[in-house]
Amino acid sequence: MWAALIILAQIFGPPQPGGQQDFDVCTGKTENTPLEESIAACHRVVSKEVLDKKSIGEAYYTLAGGLDPAKAISYLDQAIAHDPENGDYYGERGFEYHRLKDYDRALSEYEKALALNPRSSLAYSARARTLVEKGDDAGALADLDRAIAIAQEPFLYTNKAEIYLRQGDTSAALAALDQGLKLNPDHAQFFQDKADVYRKLGDTKQEEAALTRLIALKPKEQLGILLRAFLYEKLGKADLAIADYDSLLGFDPDHKFYRERRAELLALKGGAPAGPAPKVIDAAGDAPPATKAEDAAPELECRVYVPGAGITVSVRCAK
């Protein structure tokens, strides 16, 4: 009888701090939970230690997300201590060491991850990224091929193309992108990368076609429109460039650079000035291309280097 009462109390009584309900909140198994509540639930799971070790390890792993590398590694150390057979934890710790530019330790972590899970495409792709930093392009390409054999993710083909393009092998870069397009013909990044390759080749017709397809696939993304506007300027097609700047101003009416470029093109054509001074001032300078995280917010300001123009422009990036 007492055993039955204990079971009923467990089922119908208040949830145990650090128990299954907290674990579900911590690991995203509940809907519409604020981030602060999820983090608090994770801390209860790891502090109370009422669940099994694997569950506690997963809570530590969840806590590691979005932190600075050193703090993330401290949580991942705990995750591995509780569940040393989980390859994902080593792979994530390798990524954090990569962020710290400790590439040798990162590679060591990826080796452990792959020993536990030889079919982890993420571990191969992450190791490829680290090998690139160490100057081992051949090793990186081999790892990307291993990852592709497991999971044909679009970013794997773009990563291969980036390596080939940096090496100056435009044919191999285009071949990698074409392989990806056969699997996913509507992946926008492929067309942005193809435009980069054609720009390097000086093939303006193909560059225009790639950018136009990119814009069709991501009509709310300003980068493609901006790149095409610069291409039209280079080709002396002022009317088409102005039309693209009009589209850009539709997204961001007060953007200083867009308005100034449009005004200069109109002046060359003998047109009217572009209206009142804008509110936003964007600094311009020579810089490498800006990168955008895959989980970026729907509206994010990105600093983008425009190839061939020698300037950096702030644009609003749409997811």
- Condensed to tens digits (0 to 9), the pLDDT of residues 254-305 reads 999 999 999 999 988 775 444 433 333 233 333 334 444 343 344 455 666 6
247 and 203 part of one domain: no
Q: 16-20, 91-95, 197-201: lowest mean pLDDT where?
A: 16-20
Comparison of pLDDT for 313 and 2, the residue scoring more: 313
210 and 299 part of one domain: no
Tell me if 316 is assigned to some domain: yes
182 and 267 part of one domain: no
174 and 237 part of one domain: no
The predicted pLDDT at position 14 comes to 60
Question: What number is the average pLDDT over the span 84-106?
Answer: 97
pLDDT-based confidence at 30, cuts 50/70/90?
Answer: confident
200 and 286 part of one domain: no
pTM of the entire structure? 0.78
The predicted pLDDT at position 82 comes to 96
Distance CA 208, CA 219 (A): 15
Q: 72-86, 99-113, 235-249, 277-291: lowest mean pLDDT where?
A: 277-291
Cβ atoms of 156 and 162 within 8 Å: the answer is no
Tell me if 108 is assigned to some domain: no
213 and 224 part of one domain: no
Tell me if 54 is assigned to some domain: no
Tell me if 150 is assigned to some domain: no
The domain of 182 spans: 161-217
193 and 252 part of one domain: no
What contacts 188, CB < 8 A, 6 or more positions away? 214, 217, 218, 221, 224
Question: What number is the average pLDDT over the span 107-122?
Answer: 97
174 and 232 part of one domain: no
294 and 238 part of one domain: yes
Question: What number is the average pLDDT over the span 65-71?
Answer: 92
Residue ending a domain, among 201, 217, 233, is 217
**204-252 pLDDT, tens digit each:** 999 999 999 999 999 999 999 999 999 999 999 999 999 999 999 999 9
The predicted pLDDT at position 293 comes to 38
Long-range contacts of 198-203 (CB under 8 A, 24+ apart): 199/307, 199/308, 200/165, 200/170, 201/170
The predicted pLDDT at position 181 comes to 96
| Closest-CA residue to 191 (of 180, 202, 200, 201) | 180
The predicted pLDDT at position 7 comes to 45
Give the best-scoring range by mean pLDDT among 36-45, 198-207, 296-305.
Answer: 198-207
Residue ending a domain, among 171, 199, 217, is 217
Residue 95 pLDDT more than 50?
yes
Mean pLDDT, the chain, whole residue set = 85
CATH of the domain at 199: 1.25.40.10
Nearest-Å Rg of the Cα atoms of the chain is 25
Tell me if 231 is assigned to some domain: yes
204 and 283 part of one domain: no
- Looking at the structure of the chain, the number of domains it has is 2
Per DSSP, the three-state class of 111 is helix
Cβ atoms of 162 and 170 within 8 Å: the answer is no
